[in-house]
Amino acid sequence: MARHARVAGGLVAEIIEVDPGGAPFAERFHPDVVAACVEVPSGLAVAPGWRWTSGGGFAPPATPPAPSRIRVIRSLAFRDRLAAARQAELTAAAAAAAMPPASNGALLNFLLSQAASVTTDLDDPRTVGGVDALRAAGLITAAERAALLADGTAAEVA
């Protein structure tokens, strides 16, 4: 089969395959279609989306840019990165730490701030500091810390 690429706006819009045993390509199609087509060299896997270069050759589509990292997520999604039972343990431990004789309300303040927030910026120093305080207090593991501060997902934004 002879292959022709119909090019529109510098991109291959479609591939037209014709049996080489019939009439010439230019006689099979309307002159406007013929004028928009370029013969595809044998063995070249050109497909729609490929580019027709100014130098007269085909180039594969440009690699799409990597998706941007999601660093702001819903606060409930942030909290749900830990199991409900784990969340309850952290809340109890933070509440206990805020009571005398320790009277350290920093952990409880972090958890309450998270509960009151609509979104959580995973790069905010308060978020990182709060998660690090939970780790330093031995309340979360290194793996849990990594999971809490990992890039967000599309589902955590919606």
Mean pLDDT computed over 71-95: 95
For residue range 3-40, list pLDDT tens digits in order.
Answer: 999 999 999 999 999 988 889 999 999 999 999 999 99
Instruction: With a cut of 90, say whether residue 148 has pLDDT above it.
Output: yes
Beta bridge partners of 120: 73
pTM, rounded to two decimals: 0.61
Where residue 10 falls (left for φ over 0; alpha for ψ -120 to 50; beta otherwise) is: left
Instruction: With a cut of 90, say whether residue 126 has pLDDT above it.
Output: yes
- Across the chain, what does the average pLDDT equal? 93
Q: What angle do CA 90, 94, 98 make, to 5 degrees?
A: 170
Sign of the four-CA dihedral 132, 119, 115, 158: negative
Mean pLDDT computed over 32-60: 92
Separation of alpha carbons 115 and 118, rounded Å:
8
